[in-house]
């Protein structure tokens, strides 16, 4: 996993609440057995209007947001299906950081496991950022994970919370499976204890 | 000893170790696997030169991509076929039990787990699928995970988790005879919102919940994720133990008796505290119908399509405007005036034998409206077989419903069962997201009896007053 330390990047706005993972990446892209090549599916159903012309509202259809690495969005982003294809598609498009007032649980977790930092700011802060992004073309933010800050070009600093364990894994790009496997003896001891306490859990298929 | 919730008891009995910040290495008892969210996990496992820690704690089945029509000639879509084949090969390579497409035990992963007795109270159960919450109906801590976590569980039989908060959703009173678990859960989501349960595990309590059958409890817990909660729980009781007894993978004899004694200790202690408590009256719940593109956009069938201008805040107003535009609905339209093109009875929410029995009871002797295309997709091969033994397939077919093979089907439309752009569907599934059942398709979530009545009349009807 690619570590995340600091990022200064162009911000793209997606002004919708409850964006579900079906919208982030539609079902037809779930048939792949790879993790890559998903950018063409990102927000696919929102790219065109019903008459088939590009929807100018979507950031992907506005050249000023080409190369954005930070996505600014609204409440409950990533709700619905657990498909990890959603963070894979966002990553494939170049996003390394997402900012919203809240994220859905499974999606939030999936981001950390793919080197994407989801930042929770309060609704007022997010609203202020939406106004700023729209007002100035080329609007960039600097996100510092170690310091847990988002800094605007005017040097306004927003602070965010992140679990220390997840933060450490993301800062160093650690493989969480490798970390867990270091505790193999503890896992084995747990299993032995449970085989006595609750033997009905152990007949394997 | 401090009073504990059921969640706390299950969680604490699965802690392998804890980090300083509370991140927990949690032991996972059961792992369900399907074809869509697993190939990259198996690939990662193999690339790292690892083997599954407990292949025997894992059960795999293809469900999302499988055709619901004649399967003797395989899957015609080569991409879907490759994904299903990949799952079969991975299971073969790694010693994981696999129920193939033509095995009678094949079905939707959340239908077959309970059906086989793979799902037991007090367990931790995961699957790369958000509707894993279904298994909470047995008093198991069950939640959906991403593909990276699927690989983590295969490799370590554990997951790294932060302890969630707890929410009690208490439903007292008696439900109308024509309402079901589906109406309860839709009403709950309507009340707490689609993010109301974020960061929480819900325990459903109260008289109306205790009265539900096991299959009703599965419908209820299934949609916990639509309220934002990764997991929902119902305390195990006699209903639970009777349902489990004699299932193929359930413990037998003395071991079963011992397990039941342990399962009876799982219930929340009197006086235990939840982080949040929500209360509803079952007698106030009308048959529910969604009007928008998020499960929280729901009302009673006796209600109307809401007016976005009357929404409490800017955020909800904008979301409702978007939704109504997509759904092509006009504010103020009575729900019963909404006409349907398609009816889908199926999905991990409502495709079990009781759902089919109930739906058949309402449709018996009636005909699907000529303007409606209706289908029934049983949740598993065994559900289908049982329904056929009871003659339910005949009732549906005589009424004009298509009777299909088991799978996820038009709940998410990854196979050939898809809504056409602009088509409007009454669906017993769990998500009314834009394009969920097909690009441009319009989904209204309802219970099986409401879906059946809509199929017959061609529009929604208040099932309580339907002859």
Predicted confidence (pLDDT) per residue in B404-445, tens digit: 999 999 999 999 999 999 999 999 999 999 999 999 999 999
Please give the Cα distance from A66 to A11 (Å, whole number): 10
- Whether chain B has a CB inside 8 Å of the CB on A124: the answer is no
> Is A31 in contact with B431 (Cβ distance < 8 A)?
no
- Gap between the terminal Cα atoms of chain A: 33
Q: What pLDDT, on the 0 to 100 scale, is given for residue A203?
A: 85
Q: What pLDDT, on the 0 to 100 scale, is given for residue B35?
A: 98
Q: What pLDDT, on the 0 to 100 scale, is given for residue B113?
A: 98
Residue A170 phi/psi, 5-degree rounding, is -70, -40
For strand B231-233 and strand B200-205, is the pairing parallel, antiparallel, or unpaired? parallel
Q: What pLDDT, on the 0 to 100 scale, is given for residue B398?
A: 98
Q: Which residues in chain A have Cβ-Cβ distances shorter than 8 Å to B414?
A: 27-28, 30-31
> Is B21 in contact with A26 (Cβ distance < 8 A)?
no
- Long-range CB contacts (within 8 A, 24+) of B457-460: B457/B369, B458/B339, B458/B340, B458/B369, B458/B371, B458/B372, B459/B336, B459/B337, B459/B338, B459/B339, B459/B340, B460/B289, B460/B301, B460/B335, B460/B336, B460/B338, B460/B340, B460/B426
> Is B255 in contact with A186 (Cβ distance < 8 A)?
no
pLDDT at B304 over 80: yes
* Pick among B57, B156, B199 to test the A interface (most A CBs inside 10 A): B156
Residue A12 phi/psi, 5-degree rounding, is -110, 140
Q: Which residues in chain B have Cβ-Cβ distances shorter than 8 Å to A114?
A: 148
CA distance readout (Å), A39 to B29, B82, B128, B316: 35, 21, 21, 29
> Is B37 in contact with A83 (Cβ distance < 8 A)?
yes
Q: What pLDDT, on the 0 to 100 scale, is given for residue A50?
A: 82
Cβ–Cβ < 8 Å for B350, B448:
yes
- Whether chain B has a CB inside 8 Å of the CB on A55: the answer is no
ipTM, 2 decimals?
0.97
Q: Measured on CA atoms in the order B346, B348, B353, B355, is the torsion positive or negative?
A: negative
For strand B15-18 and strand B24-27, is the pairing parallel, antiparallel, or unpaired? antiparallel
> Is A27 in contact with B414 (Cβ distance < 8 A)?
yes
Residue B251, classed as helix, strand or coil, is coil
Q: Among B36, B122, B157, select the one facing A30 at the smallest CB separation.
A: B36
> Is B431 in contact with A80 (Cβ distance < 8 A)?
yes
* pLDDT tens, position by position, A12-51: 999 999 999 999 999 999 999 999 999 999 999 999 988 8
* pLDDT tens, position by position, B115-154: 999 999 999 999 999 999 999 999 999 999 999 999 999 9
Cβ–Cβ < 8 Å for B353, B359:
no
Predicted model pTM: 0.97
Q: What pLDDT, on the 0 to 100 scale, is given for residue A186?
A: 98
Q: Which residues in chain A have Cβ-Cβ distances shorter than 8 Å to B19?
A: 164-165
Please give the Cα distance from B335 to B299 (Å, whole number): 9
> Is A180 in contact with B152 (Cβ distance < 8 A)?
yes
* pLDDT tens, position by position, A135-162: 999 999 999 999 999 999 999 999 999 9
- For residue B314, the chain A residue with the least C-alpha distance is A17
CA distance readout (Å), B437 to A28, B79, B95, B421, B452: 11, 19, 34, 10, 18
- Whether chain B has a CB inside 8 Å of the CB on A191: the answer is yes
- Crossing angle for the helix pair B78-94 and B39-47, to the nearest 10 degrees: 40
For strand B231-233 and strand B373-376, is the pairing parallel, antiparallel, or unpaired? unpaired
* pLDDT tens, position by position, B152-188: 999 999 999 999 999 999 999 999 999 999 999 999 9
In sequence order, which residues have a C-beta less than 8 Å from that of residue B26 and are 6 or more positions away? B11, B14, B15, B16, B124, B158, B159, B160, B161
Residue B428 phi/psi, 5-degree rounding, is -85, 10
Residue B298, classed as helix, strand or coil, is strand
- Whether chain B has a CB inside 8 Å of the CB on A185: the answer is no
Please give the Cα distance from B361 to B349 (Å, whole number): 19
Q: What is the dihedral of CA B106, B131, B172, B164, to 10 degrees?
A: 140
Picking from B10, B8, B26, the residue whose alpha carbon sits closest to that of residue B18 is B26
- Whether chain B has a CB inside 8 Å of the CB on A45: the answer is yes
Summarize the confidence of residues B25-29 as an average pLDDT.
Answer: 98
Within 81-110 of A, beta carbons closer than 8 Å to B belong to 81-84, 87, 102, 104-106, 109-110
What is the residue whose two structure tokens read 């696999």? B98
Q: Which residues in chain B have Cβ-Cβ distances shorter than 8 Å to A200?
A: 120, 251, 255-256, 258-259
> Is A198 in contact with B144 (Cβ distance < 8 A)?
no
In chain B, % of residues over pLDDT 70: 100
Residue A107 token pair? 């999606």
Q: Among B65, B262, B439, select the one facing A31 at the smallest CB separation.
A: B65
pLDDT at B1 over 80: no
Q: Which residues in chain B have Cβ-Cβ distances shorter than 8 Å to A197?
A: 13
In sequence order, which residues have a C-beta less than 8 Å from that of residue B447 and are 6 or more positions away? B179, B180, B182, B183, B287, B288, B350, B428, B463
pLDDT at B227 over 90: yes
Angle at B7 between CA B6 and CA B9, to 5 degrees: 65
- Whether chain B has a CB inside 8 Å of the CB on A134: the answer is no
DSSP code at position B431: -
Sheet arrangement for strand B15-18: B15-18, B24-27, B158-161
- For residue B19, the chain A residue with the least C-alpha distance is A165
Q: What is the dihedral of CA B131, A198, B251, B134, to 10 degrees?
A: -10
Residue B259 token pair? 């397990």
Summarize the confidence of residues B284-306 as an average pLDDT.
Answer: 98
* Pick among B99, B130, B419 to test the A interface (most A CBs inside 10 A): B130
pLDDT at B467 over 80: no
Please give the Cα distance from B73 to B62 (Å, whole number): 16
Please give the Cα distance from B204 to B187 (Å, whole number): 13
Residue B381 token pair? 């091969």
Q: What pLDDT, on the 0 to 100 scale, is given for residue A21?
A: 98
Q: What is the dihedral of CA A180, A185, A188, A192, to 10 degrees?
A: -140
Confidence band, pLDDT 50/70/90 cuts, at residue A205? confident
Angle at A200 between CA A195 and CA A201, to 5 degrees: 70
Please give the Cα distance from B378 to B385 (Å, whole number): 9
Beta bridge partners, B334, equal B304
Q: What pLDDT, on the 0 to 100 scale, is given for residue A51?
A: 87
Residue A87 token pair? 């963070």
Of A180-189, A191-200, B311-320, the one with minimum mean pLDDT is: B311-320
> Is B156 in contact with A187 (Cβ distance < 8 A)?
yes
Q: Give 3-state DSSP helix, strand, coil % of chain A, rounded to 5.
A: 40, 20, 40
Q: Which residues in chain B have Cβ-Cβ distances shorter than 8 Å to A77?
A: none
Q: Which residues in chain A have Cβ-Cβ distances shorter than 8 Å to B322?
A: 16
Q: Measured on CA atoms in the order B385, B389, B394, B396, is the torsion positive or negative?
A: negative
Residues in chain A: 205
User: Residue A139's CB: how many other CB atoms inside 10 A?
Assistant: 21
Picking from B251, B243, B248, the residue whose alpha carbon sits closest to that of residue B215 is B243
Please give the Cα distance from B106 to B92 (Å, whole number): 17
Q: Among A76, A190, A203, select the one facing B194 at the smallest CB separation.
A: A76
* pLDDT tens, position by position, B46-88: 999 999 999 999 999 999 999 999 998 899 999 999 999 999 9
- For residue A112, the chain B residue with the least C-alpha distance is B148
Please give the Cα distance from A2 to A111 (Å, whole number): 12
- Whether chain B has a CB inside 8 Å of the CB on A73: the answer is no
């Amino acid at each position: 996993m690619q570590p995340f330390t600091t990022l200064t990047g162009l911000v793209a706005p997606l002004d919708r609440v409850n964006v579900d993972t079906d919208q982030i990446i539609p079902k037809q892209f779930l048939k792949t057995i790879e993790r890559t090549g998903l950018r063409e599916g990102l927000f696919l159903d929102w790219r065109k209007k019903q008459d088939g012309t590009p929807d100018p509202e979507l950031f992907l259809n506005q050249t000023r947001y080409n190369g954005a690495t930070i996505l600014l969005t609204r409440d409950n982003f990533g709700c619905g299906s657990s498909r990890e294809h959603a963070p894979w598609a966002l990553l494939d498009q170049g996003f390394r950081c997402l900012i919203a007032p809240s994220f859905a649980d499974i999606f939030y977790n999936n981001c950390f496991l793919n080197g994407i930092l989801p930042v929770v700011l309060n609704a007022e802060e997010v609203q202020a950022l939406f106004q700023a992004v729209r007002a100035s073309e080329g609007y960039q933010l600097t996100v510092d994970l170690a310091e847990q800050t988002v800094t605007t070009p005017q040097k306004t600093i927003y602070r965010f919370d992140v679990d220390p364990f997840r933060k450490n894994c993301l800062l160093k790009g650690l493989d969480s499976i490798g970390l867990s496997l270091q505790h193999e003896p503890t896992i084995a001891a747990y299993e032995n204890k449970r085989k006595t306490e609750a033997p009905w859990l152990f007949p394997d298929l | 000893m401090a009073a504990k919730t059921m969640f706390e008891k299950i969680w604490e009995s699965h802690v392998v170790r804890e980090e300083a910040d509370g991140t927990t290495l949690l032991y996972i008892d059961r792992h369900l696997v399907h074809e869509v969210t697993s190939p990259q996990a198996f690939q990662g496992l193999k690339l790292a030169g690892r083997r599954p820690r407990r292949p025997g704690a894992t059960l795999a089945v293809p469900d999302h991509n499988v055709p619901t029509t004649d399967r003797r000639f395989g899957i015609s879509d080569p991409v879907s076929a490759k994904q299903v084949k990949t799952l079969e090969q991975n299971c073969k390579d790694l010693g994981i039990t696999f129920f193939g497409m033509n095995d009678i035990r094949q079905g939707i992963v959340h239908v077959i787990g309970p059906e086989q007795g793979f799902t037991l109270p007090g367990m931790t159960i995961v699957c790369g699928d958000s509707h894993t919450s279904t298994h909470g109906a047995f008093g198991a801590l069950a939640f959906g995970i991403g593909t990276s976590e699927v690989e983590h569980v295969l490799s370590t039989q554990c997951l790294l988790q932060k302890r969630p908060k707890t929410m009690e959703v208490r439903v007292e009173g008696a439900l109308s005879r024509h309402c079901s678990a589906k109406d309860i859960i839709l009403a709950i989501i309507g009340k707490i919102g689609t993010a109301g349960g974020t960061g929480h595990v819900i325990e459903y309590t109260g008289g109306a919940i205790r009265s539900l059958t096991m299959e009703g409890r599965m419908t209820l817990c299934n949609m916990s994720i639509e309220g934002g909660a990764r997991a929902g729980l119902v305390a195990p009781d006699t209903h639970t133990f009777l349902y489990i007894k004699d299932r193929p993978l359930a413990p037998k004899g003395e071991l079963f008796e011992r397990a039941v004694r342990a399962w009876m200790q799982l219930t929340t202690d009197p006086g235990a505290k939840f982080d949040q408590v929500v209360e509803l009256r079952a007698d106030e719940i009308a048959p529910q119908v969604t009007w928008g593109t998020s499960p929280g956009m729901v009302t009673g069938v006796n209600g109307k399509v809401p007016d976005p201008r009357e929404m409490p805040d800017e955020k909800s107003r904008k979301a409702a405007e978007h939704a109504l535009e997509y759904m092509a609905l006009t504010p103020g339209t009575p729900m019963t005036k909404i006409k349907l093109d398609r009816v889908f009875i199926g999905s991990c929410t409502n495709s079990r034998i009781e759902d089919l029995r109930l739906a058949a009871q309402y449709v018996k002797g009636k005909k699907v409206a000529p303007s409606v295309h209706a289908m029934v997709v049983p949740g598993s091969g065994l559900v289908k077989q049982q329904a056929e033994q009871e003659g339910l397939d005949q009732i549906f077919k005589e009424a004009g419903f298509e009777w299909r093979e088991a799978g996820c089907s038009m709940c998410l439309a990854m196979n050939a069962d898809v809504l056409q752009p602009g088509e409007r569907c009454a669906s017993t599934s769990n998500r009314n997201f834009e394009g969920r059942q097909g690009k441009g398709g319009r989904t209204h979530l309802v219970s099986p009896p409401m879906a059946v009545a809509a199929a017959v009349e061609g529009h929604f009807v208040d099932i309580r007053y339907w002859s």
